[in-house]
Amino acid sequence: MKIVLASASPRRKRLMERIAGKCSARAAKIDERIHPGEEFPSAAVRLALMKARAVAGRVKNAVVIGADTIAYRGRRTYRKTDDAKAAGRILRELSGKTHAVVTGVAVLFSGGKCVNYTVKASVRMKKLDSKTIDGYLKTGEWKGRAGCYDVSGLGRKLVARVKGEKETVVGLPIKRLRMLIS
């Protein structure tokens, strides 16, 4: 079975390869805005489905998997950014607090069947001082990541604990996905 990941994320690709072996990845360029009043789990699965459909239109005879991750606390989202000042504000806001992370997954099978779902985790951040935040920002690892940290990289030092599937926070929960594609 040919598997195509609708993502440019190397972290998602590594996770996918852990459960499926070789797969290809193609970026899906979509509007990733959340609609006013939209619940975050619904937004995550809608965006994952949009990504999967965008890529499915360019490949044949493949299972296409899309994913979207949203970090949030209350009604405030912490989407990816490439702006270091914005990332610093986000990390200061998350410091010492718990926030939620939801990843929506959409699996489009070549026969037309579609399965989509969300997986949620909670993340407790350590109390972060300015030196720690500035040092992490200098690594550049935070770019393009929901919440502006990478729990699978150096960002794990910023996290006190993850409750739930850690891969949800990385961007591709694999437990259910493994069952769907095996």
Rounded CA separation 182/169 (Å): 23
Q: Is the pLDDT of residue 101 over 90?
A: yes
Q: What percent of the chain has pLDDT over 70?
A: 100
Rounded CA separation 163/124 (Å): 8
Q: Is the pLDDT of residue 36 over 90?
A: yes
Q: Please report the pLDDT score of residue 111 as a whole number.
A: 85
pLDDT per position as a tens digit, 163-180: 999 999 999 999 999 999
CB 15 within 8 A of CB 172: yes
pLDDT, averaged across the chain: 95
Q: Is the pLDDT of residue 43 over 90?
A: yes
Strand blocks (E) in the chain? 3-6, 24-25, 63-73, 76-77, 98-108, 114-125, 159-163
Q: Look up the pTM and report it.
A: 0.94
Point out the catalytic residue in the list 31, 68, 83, 134. 68
CATH fold of 3-181 reads Maf protein (3.90.950)
- Counting Cα atoms < 13 Å in the Cβ hemisphere of 86 gives 14
pLDDT per position as a tens digit, 117-152: 999 999 999 999 999 999 999 999 999 899 999 999
Q: Please report the pLDDT score of residue 90 as a whole number.
A: 98
68 part of the active site? yes
- Name the 3-class secondary structure at 70: strand
Residue 12: pLDDT band with limits 50, 70, 90: very high
Rounded CA separation 6/169 (Å): 18
Residue 3 forms beta bridges with which residues? 63
When pLDDT is averaged across residues 6-17 and rounded to a whole number, the result is 93
CB 107 within 8 A of CB 65: yes
Q: Please report the pLDDT score of residue 182 as a whole number.
A: 84
CB 117 within 8 A of CB 97: no
Looking up tokens 């499926």, which residue turns up? 20
